C-alpha cells in the first residue's frame, strides 16, 4: 500500500480497502443472516437456526480498521464463529468510513444502531437485559464511547457488558513504552498509527511531529489524567525503554476536532461505571 501510494497509483487506504474486499467469507450453514437498516444504519443480523428455549443473549459488533477501512463482510468469519459458539444473536454494524463520513459519525452510527437493537431486541428473540457490545481496535474505541453514552439513556435497557479487544482508548501519549518498544513493528508501526489517526480526522499529515512531541494535548488535560495514562504506572521490569517526558506547549490547531475525541475516549476508558 505504501509503495502504491509513493508511485501515485492509489492511496494506502484505497489499497487496503481493495485487498479486504477481495476476501468473501461464507456464511456458516448453522446461521441465518439478514442485511437490514437500524435507524438508517446498515447492519447484518446473524441468528442461530437451532431452536432455543427462551430468549438468547445479544451481541453488537463494531469492527476495527482505524475508522478508515474494514467491512462487515471482511469480519464475517469472526461473526460466524462468535454467533455460533456463543449461541447468540449478533449484530454487525456497517458504520461509514472516514474521510467519506467524517468524525464523529462513526460512533454516532454505532450508538444509533445499538439503541435501535436494544429497543427492538425481542423482535429478534433476544433478552434486552442481556446485550453486550464489543469491538477490536477502533471498534473497541467506539465500544467504549457508546457504552459511556448509554449510561445517560434511561429510556433503554441497561447494557450487560462491554468487551474491548486491543482497543484504542487513549490518544494522549504515543510515546508510552509499548509504542516506543514497538515503533517499527509491522503491520502497525508507531508512524502508521499516527498517520491513520490524522487521516481519520482529515488533518494535515505534517502534524505527525506535533503528536510525537505531545503538542496535541493541553497541559492541564495531561496532568488531570496522568494517574491513569503514564509510564509511571508500569512495573519497572516491563520498562525496556524509557518514554520521553513532554515539555512542548499545546498547539491550538488541535482544539477542534481532536480535543473532543480525547475527552470522550479517555473519559470512557477510565470510567469505573464501565469496568467489567
DSSP letter assigned to residue 18: H
User: DSSP H helical segments within 1-130, as ranges?
Assistant: 2-7, 12-22, 76-86, 105-119
| CA–CA dist 93, 222 (Å, integer) | 33
Between 243 and 204, the higher pLDDT residue:
204
**Residue 276: band (very low, low, confident or very high) from pLDDT cuts 50, 70, 90:** very low
Give tens-digit pLDDT for 252-267: 555 555 555 555 555 5
Strands (E), the chain: 31-38, 41-48, 56-62, 89-93, 126-136, 161-165
**Residue 275: band (very low, low, confident or very high) from pLDDT cuts 50, 70, 90:** very low
Q: Phi/psi at 212 (nearest 5 deg)? A: -65, -30
For 141, the 3-state DSSP assignment is: helix
Between 58 and 226, the higher pLDDT residue:
58
**Residue 63: band (very low, low, confident or very high) from pLDDT cuts 50, 70, 90:** very high
DSSP letter assigned to residue 69: S
Q: Which three cell numbers stand for residue 169?
A: 482508548
| CA–CA dist 16, 4 (Å, integer) | 11
Give tens-digit pLDDT for 3-35: 988 999 998 899 989 999 888 889 999 999 999
Residue-level pLDDT at 262: 56
Q: How far is CA 133 from CA 38, 118, 123, 154, 164, in A?
A: 15, 11, 18, 18, 9
Q: Which three cell numbers stand for residue 154?
A: 434511561
Q: Is the pLDDT of residue 142 over 90?
A: yes
Q: How far is CA 9 from CA 3, 5, 13, 185, 202, in A?
A: 9, 6, 12, 25, 20
Q: Phi/psi at 42 (nearest 5 deg)? A: -65, 135
Residue-level pLDDT at 212: 84
Judge whether 160 and 131 are in contact, CB under 8 Å.
yes
Of the candidates 61, 67, 110, 65, the residue with the CA atom closest to the CA atom of residue 89: 61
| CA–CA dist 209, 206 (Å, integer) | 7
| CA–CA dist 92, 76 (Å, integer) | 9
Q: How many helices (H) and strands (E) does the chain have?
A: 10, 6
Amino acid at each position: 500500500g505504501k509503495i502504491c501510494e509513493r508511485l501515485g497509483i492509489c492511496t494506502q487506504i484505497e489499497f487496503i480497502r481493495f485487498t479486504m474486499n477481495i476476501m468473501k467469507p461464507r456464511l456458516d450453514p448453522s446461521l441465518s443472516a439478514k442485511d437490514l437498516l437500524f435507524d438508517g444504519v446498515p447492519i447484518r443480523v446473524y441468528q442461530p437456526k437451532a431452536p432455543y428455549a427462551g430468549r438468547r443473549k445479544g451481541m453488537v459488533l463494531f469492527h476495527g480498521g482505524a475508522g478508515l477501512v474494514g467491512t462487515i463482510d471482511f469480519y464475517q468469519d469472526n461473526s460466524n464463529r462468535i454467533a455460533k459458539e456463543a449461541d447468540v444473536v449478533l449484530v454487525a454494524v456497517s458504520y461509514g468510513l472516514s474521510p467519506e463520513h467524517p468524525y464523529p459519525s462513526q460512533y454516532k452510527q454505532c450508538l444509533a444502531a445499538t439503541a435501535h437493537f436494544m429497543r427492538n431486541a425481542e423482535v429478534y428473540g433476544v433478552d434486552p437485559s442481556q446485550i453486550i457490545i464489543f469491538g477490536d481496535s477502533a471498534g473497541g474505541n467506539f465500544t467504549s464511547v457508546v457504552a459511556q453514552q448509554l449510561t445517560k439513556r434511561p429510556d433503554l435497557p441497561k447494557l450487560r457488558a462491554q468487551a474491548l479487544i486491543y482497543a484504542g482508548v487513549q490518544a494522549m501519549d504515543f510515546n508510552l513504552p509499548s509504542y516506543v518498544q514497538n515503533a517499527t513493528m509491522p503491520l502497525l508501526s508507531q508512524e502508521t498509527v499516527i498517520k491513520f489517526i490524522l487521516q481519520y480526522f482529515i488533518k494535515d499529515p505534517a502534524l505527525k511531529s506535533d503528536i510525537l512531541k505531545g503538542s496535541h494535548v493541553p497541559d492541564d488535560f495531561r496532568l488531570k489524567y496522568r494517574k491513569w495514562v503514564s509510564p509511571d504506572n508500569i512495573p519497572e521490569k516491563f520498562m525496556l525503554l524509557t518514554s520521553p517526558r513532554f515539555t512542548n506547549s499545546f498547539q491550538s490547531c488541535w482544539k477542534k476536532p481532536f480535543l473532543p475525541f480525547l475527552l470522550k475516549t479517555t473519559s470512557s476508558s477510565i470510567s469505573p461505571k464501565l469496568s467489567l
